Amino acid sequence: MLRTIEADYLVVGAGAMGMAFVDTLVSESEATVVVVDRNDQPGGHWTTAYPFVRLHQPSAYYGVNSRNLGSDTIDDSGFNEGYYELASGAEVCAYFDAVMRQQLQPTGRVTYLPMSEYLGDGRVRTLGGDDIEVSAPRVVTTHVEIVVPSMRPPAYTVAPGVDCVPPNDLPRTPARDRYVIVGAGKTAMDACLWLLRHGVAVERLTWIKPRDSWILDRATIQPGSQFAKRVLRDFSAQLTAVHEAESLGDLFDRLEAKGCLMRIDESVDPTMYRCAILSTAELEALRGIDDVVRMGHVQSIVPGRITLDGGTRDVDDSALYIDCTADGFEHRNPVTVFTDGHISLQAVRTCQPAFSAAVIAHVEATYSDDDTRNAFCGPVPYPREPTDWLRMMLVFNKNQLQWFSDPDMMAWVDAARLNVLHHVSAAVSERAREKIISVLTSQFPAINDKLETLLAQASP
């Protein structure tokens, strides 16, 4: 017999965004929720990530709004020395598991269905083969899925006799004389840094990078009163760079000169931007890797040779290849967040998915119609290329203007633990805060016009 569960919301996926949404919704309403997830514990891609993965941003900005992640301590050693702690993947998984078991389920309003597949139209199939029908007027899904290397085989051909592993296998693979890191994103950066941290000489590393990336400086994304001036200075510098820029190229030159963006190799123009964050110590370590192959994407690997878009490269037969080429955030164009009984979780603030999901939940619980809700939650595109830096800022600025116009919304945003700017506003006086908002409200329209002008220069 088909089992039926009635609830106000059906949330598909217990990843970071799904958990942040449910946490805020349950905290701010009497809603009942069914959470369906294909994994055996909450955490989404964190449950399959490589064991040495850590947050790129401080733990203070991640997780759910109602529960701190970590202990708000500053690291005193390593590549993150002097900055606030970065939770490990294991810590993040344990944290989300505790949120579900200790906070959400005990309310009696959250039904959690792990190891279950959502089939559409409210139907769920469990691991045991039982079908469940969830009757809920609102269905919540995450618009963009995250794909990490362990979730799929390499996109290129790997011949027998070649050792090619995802980063997950790196800690348990015997040492090699040569390591070849394939990929240009943050996963590849993490793999390089893990090897260097464990004493592998830089001469033993080959890094295949089909493209280079703009990177954010972790020093400008820190909580705590001691960092408030630096964070505000960086935000001001971004606005100034946009205001003064005469072209797209000039804008990125200014952003780099002001320390808003960094790149590993200053002789190579980045063609990628994915919100990757590094400390300056990490940046300098990566700059020490001299054997960097820029010949496009890998097509195939056979013993002793790599074939790429731009030619071939001979490599020692015994090399270990570390596949870091998964796309991370799948590329999808933004869609309207609230539509006809469906909520599509997306970023509404640049580079902060968990906070964005909490914002969407707060707006859902507070405002009564989808038109008003959508006015507060313009979807910020997930970045892929440098011009997305402008697209993200443009939409986020428009969202902020909407938030500024509503005192209740602004009070919630100010108090939200997950909001980067909450930690800054908490470190300044009320008068200074009001002045900052007044200045931004007056500047954003002109800044947005300039962003539109600069984006018009980009190739279609």
CATH number of the domain residue 10 falls in? 3.50.50.60
E strand or H helix that includes residue 423? helix 420-425
Are 311 and 178 within one domain? yes
CA proximity to 16, closest of 56, 43, 48, 55: 43
Are 83 and 183 within one domain? no
48 CB-near residues (< 8 Å, 6+ apart): 148, 150, 151, 168
Residue 329 has pLDDT above 70, yes or no: no
For residue range 2-45, what is the model confidence (pLDDT) as tens digits?
A: 899 999 999 999 999 999 999 999 999 999 999 999 999 999 99
Per-residue confidence (pLDDT) for residue 438, from 0 to 100: 85
How many domains, in total, are found in the chain? Answer: 2
For residue range 389-441, what is the model confidence (pLDDT) as tens digits?
A: 999 999 999 999 999 999 999 999 999 999 987 777 766 777 877 887 888 88
For residue range 342-381, what is the model confidence (pLDDT) as tens digits?
A: 999 999 999 999 999 999 999 999 999 999 999 999 999 9
Q: Is residue 426 part of a domain?
A: no
Are 184 and 310 within one domain? yes
Per-residue confidence (pLDDT) for residue 113, from 0 to 100: 98
Are 162 and 38 within one domain? no
- Determine the structural domain holding residue 289 and report its residue range: 149-212+264-323
Q: Report long-range pairs for 146-149 (Cβ below 8 Å, ≥24 apart).
A: 146/15, 146/44, 146/45, 146/328, 146/329, 146/330, 147/45, 147/326, 147/327, 147/328, 147/330, 148/45, 148/48, 148/49, 148/50, 148/187, 148/326, 148/328, 149/50, 149/187, 149/323, 149/324, 149/325, 149/326
CA proximity to 123, closest of 113, 112, 135: 135
For residues 242-251, average pLDDT: 97
Per-residue confidence (pLDDT) for residue 351, from 0 to 100: 92
Residue at which a domain ends, from 297, 323, 349: 323
Per-residue confidence (pLDDT) for residue 392, from 0 to 100: 97
Are 137 and 196 within one domain? no
Are 137 and 155 within one domain? no
Q: Is residue 271 part of a domain?
A: yes
Residue at which a domain ends, from 142, 176, 196: 142
Integer Cα distance of 349 and 418 in angstroms: 11
Per-residue confidence (pLDDT) for residue 439, from 0 to 100: 81
Q: Is the overall model pTM greater than 0.85, yes or no?
A: yes
Are 188 and 312 within one domain? yes
The CA-atom distances, in angstroms, between 248 and each of 96, 181, 253 are 41, 31, 9
Are 153 and 32 within one domain? no
Are 175 and 86 within one domain? no
Are 308 and 189 within one domain? yes
Q: Is residue 112 part of a domain?
A: yes
Residue at which a domain ends, from 142, 172, 189: 142
Q: Is residue 231 part of a domain?
A: no
As a whole number, the mean pLDDT across the chain is 94
Integer Cα distance of 415 and 433 in angstroms: 13
Per-residue confidence (pLDDT) for residue 1, from 0 to 100: 59
Are 197 and 283 within one domain? yes
CB-neighbour burial class of residue 257 (10 A; exposed 0-12, middle 13-18, buried 19+) = exposed
Q: Is residue 304 part of a domain?
A: yes
For residue 98, the number of C-alpha atoms closer than 13 Å in the C-beta half-sphere is 13
**Residue matched to tokens 């200074």:** 432
For residue 303, the number of C-alpha atoms closer than 13 Å in the C-beta half-sphere is 4
Residue 458 has pLDDT above 90, yes or no: no
DSSP state letter for 1? -
